[in-house]
Amino acid sequence: MPKVEIDGRQVEVEEGLNVIQAAERLGIEIPHYCYHPGLSIAGNCRMCLVEIDKVPKLQIACNTRVSEGLVVRTQTERVRRARQAVLEFLLVNHPIDCPVCDQAGECKLQDYYMDYDLEPSRVPLEEKVHKGKALDIGPLVMLDQERCILCTRCVRFCDEVTKTGELGLFERGDHVTIDLFPGRRLDNPYSGNVVDICPVGALTSKDFRFRARVWYLQRTPSVCPTCATGCNIDIHHLRGRIYRFRPRYNPDVNTWWMCDEGRLGYRAYQGEQRILEPFRRDAESVLRCDWETVLAEVPRLLREGAEAVVFARATNEEAYLLREIFGKLLGGGNLHGVSWSPENASRDDFLRDADKNPNTRGLAALGVLVPVEALRRALLEGRRDVLFVFGGDLEPVLGPEGLRELRRKTRVLVAADFRGHATLAQADWALPVASFAETDGTFTNRGGRVQRIREAFPPPGNARPGWWVLARIAERLGSPKRFATAEEVFAELAAAEPAFSGMSYATVGERGCPLAAVDR
Amino acid sequence: MGEKVLLRHEEVPGIDRLEVYVADGGYTAARTALREKTPAEIVEMVRVSGLRGRGGAGFPTGVKWGFLPKDSPKPRYLCVNADESEPGTFKDRQIIEFNPHLLLEGTLISAYAIQAHVAYVYIRGEFARGAAILERALREAYAAGHFGRNIYGTGYDLEVYIHRGAGAYICGEETGLIESLEGKRAYPRVKPPFPATVGVFGCPTIVNNVETLACVPLIVGRGPEWFRAIGPEKCPGPKLYCLSGHVQRPGVYEAPMGISLRELVYGEAFGGGIPGGKKLKGVIPGGSSVPVLLPEEIDVPMDFDSVAQAGSLLGSCGIIVMDEDTCMVDALRVIARFYHHESCGQCTPCREGTGWLERVLEHLEFGGARPDEVDLLLRIADNMMGNTICLLADAAAMPTRSFVTKFRSEFEEHVRLDGCPKRLAHAEG
Ligand SMILES: Cc1cc2nc3c(=O)[nH]c(=O)nc-3n(C[C@H](O)[C@H](O)[C@H](O)COP(=O)(O)O)c2cc1C
Ligand code: SF4
Ligand code: SF4
Ligand code: SF4
Ligand code: FES
């Protein structure tokens, strides 16, 4: 491993890193626009110029690989002047519409200007080169050509990552413009990523623009719940409302990217269709009730011979508690884990998986997953006293007629989910639980990686985290455990399940932890 | 003045035709090279000759060929840079149009020397005539067995393709040329890697200027010592000089490296002085991208080192002469306009700087300049210099710095009068 010196400090780093990455290890930021670790080196913005010992000209840090004995200076007067010069050049034709720009707060032009320039503009507005504004270039993306600093990240993304090549550069000199190739739209399934990687307000999200100023938003690391890949994300939210998902770097899962379907998946977790209180239905009406009643009545019902369905949208913790309840406390009741996805579900050989459930592998690892056909048969075969359905709707699985038949054959239907659907509407007991954004827990992705989701904000109304509800039911059924957090449930799960052995929330961390290879 | 070797057509009419070229001894050097010398021997001859690239930078050709990786399994390519677009430069065109076989023979020997089996001649898009002449010459040479398979029975194969350029100055920058050849926008590549390791289609590639390659048959035919003996020791060989602007006899002249600039401007065999007996104001010695020299600075020998010492560059030997009536602000404005138009727009300082320079120069020339804009020109130029992917930014910055420093009072006068005095006089008169 080569040893390099940056600003007088030594660091030993892996072969192949560039100077920007090496400096990062020392906590030294080298400002940059065009460089993106997931894309090829363009070297065009010239923001990352640094001094390299024995090299007369300033060199771009992004295209300088570390080598033994390399000596770099990033804070000299020359470097400072070069940065200031680049910023001044970038602003020559910039429209300066920051007050109405949606990128404000996460704009690298603004940020670096404050850090490295702070010079007043020297070019009158009427002399600037004008280009297109607010151009609708795809279902998710708007383009403002004047704000573009021509770093070509978006072009490289479409050329190198999706290989769809919708975007190109046109004209020359200061008339160069990013645009769609004739007849194209930016409509590939990963198009939203260009908004994330655009360092300025040139590419903005149609879905997000003008909905919130970013500095008000809070971020919570989580995992995309829309398919089995489990792309790492940050939930951007404010006062119990999700504004957007952003991909979060995980070299073992999604690197820097996420798909558009997952990106827009946040909409399913908004206020619409949420149920805010537990309900119970009797002969003539549906009545709101409280958790005390639920926790007094439901365990009593379950004792009367219960069967349960858990969807692969439930966390490992929830599935584990269900297994405890139905496998142990109720002495061998039936628990069916189900992973259902629509037949024509999108998929590709990059990130998108046809399995639209975030925790299929988790249910499999816990040994509760059954094939959908087997579940249909089991549910529609005989009559039963009580059925407990957790974390999903049986209507798409059984069809509307199947669900009605199931209902006829089931004396008491208990359903828990974060939002309303056909199963919940027909349930005798409807229990509102937290959405994936409102609870702590883990999902196991398609590659067998256990990854954490976190409570970004508390569940609305009287909804409770699923693990909490299940833990309380288990207590009433005689379990000695008194779980106060999802983390405690996970610790117990990890102790009980060889595939999870040695794991804790601490070891799972931000990047997840692979299941141990255990035969099941 | 001695014998002409590059402008041989001035002494041997019709030499653009194969039989005339061959009758004059053409393709004997190629035959000798392929039959009697190893590629390494040719590289060594070129190195010993002291030939330095005529494309502008003056890099020793033999040394450059030596940069090709020895152990790469990939094919190698030779690119002939015939994109000649620097304002004031029109020497390669002379060879292409009047002595095309000299270039082709040079291409053949050089390709053999670097062990390439494909050579591309990237010819400036606007050179329609040159391309047609070269195509014809190439067909003749193919038919006579100078190209193709098993050349001269040696087992060596070479295919040559003539590729017409995409109509931009930047296509002449060697990595821009390579991108363009590959069918993309001529965006110069970030270096490293250099073309010698990663060039056309990701393979080791040598890019050489037309005039450079035209010297190779001479070196092989007459011997490196003959070549070395012409001109200064560190920068030998015959050279083409392009004279334009305010001279009696503009045109392309052949003379040894190191002839004095004054001789080229005033000598009877060359420019013959300035029309109308006017005084000289300045000379750009190496194409529009290099610093201007003052009348008292033109005793400089025209070779890469001497001109650099005098504060300018030999560049492409595009000598632009300006008489006393020239408005230096306007001259610089025209230069800036060119680089603004030709900047590929890839990197920030060049994309924004070239346009900004032109804008400021328009203020000075046509009115509306602020007093600090003279210094602003210097500042923009300083901020562009040395900070970009290719040298086009420097090409715009260098003349700017020299014009403003050497003719500062003229720039200040433009600010004071709120425009060009010549234009104002014209408007009033
Ligand atoms: C902006 C720019 C334009 C250039 N245009 C030409 C050109 O038209 N012809 C040329 O031979 N070299 C041109 N060059 C130089 C080439 O990059 C390269 O150095 C040259 O072809 C090498 O050949 P040589 O070693 O034989 O001189 C240009 C360089 C720059 C930076
Ligand atoms: S639109 Fe954004 S990402 Fe694309 S080139 Fe412009 S600044 Fe870069
Ligand atoms: S690929 Fe799957 S996990 Fe990743 S963002 Fe898309 S839906 Fe979410
Ligand atoms: S210096 Fe100018 S011409 Fe060269 S790559 Fe940069 S923008 Fe293009
Ligand atoms: S980040 Fe290095 S040149 Fe843009």
pLDDT tens per residue across all 429 residues of chain B? 478 999 999 999 999 999 999 999 999 999 999 999 999 999 999 999 999 999 999 999 999 999 999 999 999 999 999 999 999 999 999 999 999 999 999 999 999 999 999 999 999 999 999 999 999 999 999 999 999 999 999 999 999 999 999 889 999 999 999 999 999 999 999 999 999 999 999 999 999 999 999 999 999 999 999 999 999 999 999 999 999 999 999 999 999 999 999 999 999 999 999 999 999 999 999 999 999 999 999 999 999 999 999 999 999 999 999 999 999 999 999 999 999 999 999 999 999 999 999 999 999 999 999 999 999 999 999 999 999 999 999 999 999 999 999 999 999 999 999 999 988 888 776
Cα→Cα distances A199→A45, A103, A108, A329, Å = 11, 9, 5, 55
**Rounded distance between C-alpha atoms, residue A313 and residue A417, angstroms:** 10
What contacts B272, CB < 8 A, 6 or more positions away? B247, B248, B249, B266
Count of other CB atoms within 10 angstroms of residue A141? 26
Q: Identify all chain A residues contacting B168, using CB atoms and an 8 Å cutoff.
A: 172
Q: What is the pLDDT of residue A305?
A: 83
Cβ-defined contact of B190 to A173 (cutoff 8 Å): no
- The backbone region for A332, taken as left when phi is positive above 0, alpha when psi lies in -120 to 50, beta otherwise, is left
Q: What is the pLDDT of residue B74?
A: 97
A45-88 pLDDT tens trace:
999 999 999 999 999 999 999 999 999 999 999 999 999 999 99
Of A70, A69, A113, which Cα lies nearest the Cα of A89? A113
Cβ-defined contact of A45 to B347 (cutoff 8 Å): yes
Q: What is the pLDDT of residue A273?
A: 85
E strand or H helix that includes residue B366 = helix B348-366
Residue for token pair 């003045």 = B1
Residue A224 C-beta-side C-alpha neighbours within 13 Å: 33
3-class secondary-structure state, position A308 = strand
**Rounded distance between C-alpha atoms, residue B414 and residue B370, angstroms:** 10
- How many residues comprise chain B? 429
- Burial of B37: CB neighbours in 10 Å, binned 0-12, 13-18, 19+: middle
**Rounded distance between C-alpha atoms, residue A240 and residue B280, angstroms:** 78
**Rounded distance between C-alpha atoms, residue B9 and residue B4, angstroms:** 8
Q: What is the ipTM of this complex?
A: 0.93
Q: Which residue of B has its CA nearest to A152?
A: B346
- The CA A217 to ligand 5 mean position distance, Å, reads 29
**Rounded distance between C-alpha atoms, residue A388 and residue A308, angstroms:** 4
Q: Which residues of B touch A (CB under 8 A)?
A: 168, 185, 190, 192, 340-349, 351-356, 359, 376, 383, 386-389
Packing angle between helix A291-302 and helix A466-476, nearest 10 degrees? 60
A389-415 pLDDT tens trace:
999 999 999 999 999 999 999 999 999
Q: Which residues of A touch B (CB under 8 A)?
A: 41-47, 49, 57-58, 60, 63, 81-82, 85-86, 88-90, 92-93, 122-123, 127, 129, 149-150, 169, 171-176
CB distance B304 to B314 below 8 Å? yes
Cα→Cα distances A130→A17, A147, A175, B262, Å = 39, 10, 8, 47
CB distance A516 to A257 below 8 Å? no
Q: What is the pLDDT of residue A74?
A: 97
- The CA B209 to ligand 1 mean position distance, Å, reads 7
CB distance B11 to B5 below 8 Å? no
CB distance A173 to B343 below 8 Å? yes
**Shortest Cα distance, chain B CAs vs residue A7, angstroms:** 21
Q: What is the DSSP code string of A43-101?
A: --S-TTEEEETT-SS-EEGGG-B--TT-EEESSSHHHHHHHHHHHHHHHHS----GGG-
Q: What is the pLDDT of residue A519?
A: 58
> Beta A167-170 vs A334-338: how paired, if at all?
unpaired
Cβ-defined contact of A85 to B349 (cutoff 8 Å): yes
- The CA B345 to ligand 4 mean position distance, Å, reads 6
Mutate to test the interface with A, among B182, B339, B347 (most CBs of A within 10 A): B347
- The CA A224 to ligand 2 mean position distance, Å, reads 26
Cβ-defined contact of A150 to B351 (cutoff 8 Å): yes
**CB environment A106-124: b (16+ within 10 A), e (fewer):** bbbbbebbeebbeeeebbe
Closest residue to A174, CB basis, from B168, B192, B355: B355
Q: Which residues of chain A have pLDDT under 70?
A: 333, 519-520
Q: What is the pLDDT of residue A333?
A: 67
**Rounded distance between C-alpha atoms, residue B58 and residue A144, angstroms:** 44
Q: What is the pLDDT of residue A272?
A: 76
**Shortest Cα distance, chain A CAs vs residue B373, angstroms:** 10
Ligand nearest to the CA of B347: 4
Residue A149: φ, ψ to 5°: -100, 10
Q: What is the pTM of this model?
A: 0.94
**Rounded distance between C-alpha atoms, residue B74 and residue A74, angstroms:** 38
Closest residue to B352, CB basis, from A81, A89, A127: A89
What contacts B145, CB < 8 A, 6 or more positions away? B151, B152
Written as six digits, the tokens of A330 are 């109720």
- Whether cis (ω within 30° of 0) applies to the bond prior to B192 is yes
Q: Identify all chain B residues contacting A47, using CB atoms and an 8 Å cutoff.
A: 348
Q: What is the pLDDT of residue A99?
A: 85
Closest residue to A127, CB basis, from B185, B354, B359: B359
